[in-house]
Amino acid sequence: MVSPVNAALIVQQLVNALALGSIYAMIAVGLALIYGVLRVLHIAHAGIFTAGAYLGLYFYLLTANLTVAILGAMIVAGLIGVAIERFVYRPMLSKPRIVALIASIGLFICLSDIFRILAGPDQLAFDVKSIGGALDVAGISLPRVEFLIAGGTVAIFATLWLLLQHTSLGFAIRATAQNIETAQIMGIDTNRSIQSVFFIGSAIAAFGGVMVGTLYDAVYPSMGDMVGYKGLALIVIGGFGSLTGAVLAAFLLGIAETVLTTYSNIPLSRDGVAMLMLVILILVRPQGLLGRR
């Protein structure tokens, strides 16, 4: 029989796992969207995640309003994503995809250095008093910010699903992802669809960056590095281009990291768990959880 203390610990770890999985999912969904449309591994997406955190901090210091900070960060990051698509990737679409991949890696390194130059190499505090502290639920203390992360993720993904399944823009995006040449022949504005994907994916990544900044009360230039690597692992684990697979893989990774680092003696860090999952899945199921052979 599980004691009350152990039950409380299990619930706490489950909430931690869901919050962690939500953060990973916000990165993985943007990467999966962009890969599904352009077949490009958008490494610089991790830089957008970091940019979102800095933008959120800037808008919060400017307005002292977290909602304004989140919306401002998402809009500006979305516009940055559109600019990256227009001026970096679009001129390279006629070339082998390795060219765009190399450009994306270079852009990611460049963004990290820009953050370091503009904001300094040290951590900046992102202390939001309104979501500090914890909620007492059935005698269990649960951090408020983790509820915000989980609730915000559900709202964003529900909105994204409605957009993709029940709007003309969503139809255009799905058609472009399925076959860009056929979509152009059918009269679909594929450039608009691709720009929309970059705006949406970048805005979601920015939300994730703001949430991580408030969760750990810190924003710094390299905060997107490991999250970006895990995002790439997740779209492989989920199945290239599969949004559902990427989300499923993100939450499985969050649970695996939390459980294995809390209840096992495996001498691996949280980051090592993600890489181990990737290696095992590639061996067992190369097409990913929901990918096709």
pLDDT value of residue 195: 94
pLDDT value of residue 123: 92
Q: Say how far apart CA 198 and CA 183 lie, in whole Å.
A: 18
Q: Say how far apart CA 104 and CA 106 lie, in whole Å.
A: 5
- Answer yes or no: is 289 within a domain: no
When divided into structural domains, the chain yields a total of 1
- Answer yes or no: is 207 within a domain: yes
pLDDT value of residue 124: 93
CA dihedral angle for residue 92, residue 96, residue 100, residue 105, rounded to 10 degrees:
-150
Q: Output Rg (C-alpha) for the chain, integer angstroms.
A: 19
Query: Which among 285, 266, 277, 224 is positioned nearest to 24, based on CA atoms?
Result: 224
223: CATH: 1.10.3470
Query: Which among 273, 180, 200, 280 is positioned nearest to 236, based on CA atoms?
Result: 280
- Answer yes or no: is 291 within a domain: no
pLDDT value of residue 286: 75
Domain hosting residue 273, numbered range: 4-284
pLDDT value of residue 2: 44
- Answer yes or no: is 293 within a domain: no
User: Which regions of the chain are under pLDDT 50?
Assistant: 1-3
pLDDT digits (tens, 9 = 90+) for 206-237: 999 999 999 889 999 999 888 888 888 888 88
Q: Say how far apart CA 43 and CA 232 lie, in whole Å.
A: 8
- Answer yes or no: is 290 within a domain: no
Residue type, 112: S
The DSSP code sequence of 47-60 is: HHHHHHHHHHHHHH
Q: Looking only at Cα atoms, what is the longest distance across the chain? A: 64
Count CA within 13 A, CB hemisphere, residue 174: 14
- Answer yes or no: is 292 within a domain: no
pLDDT value of residue 6: 65
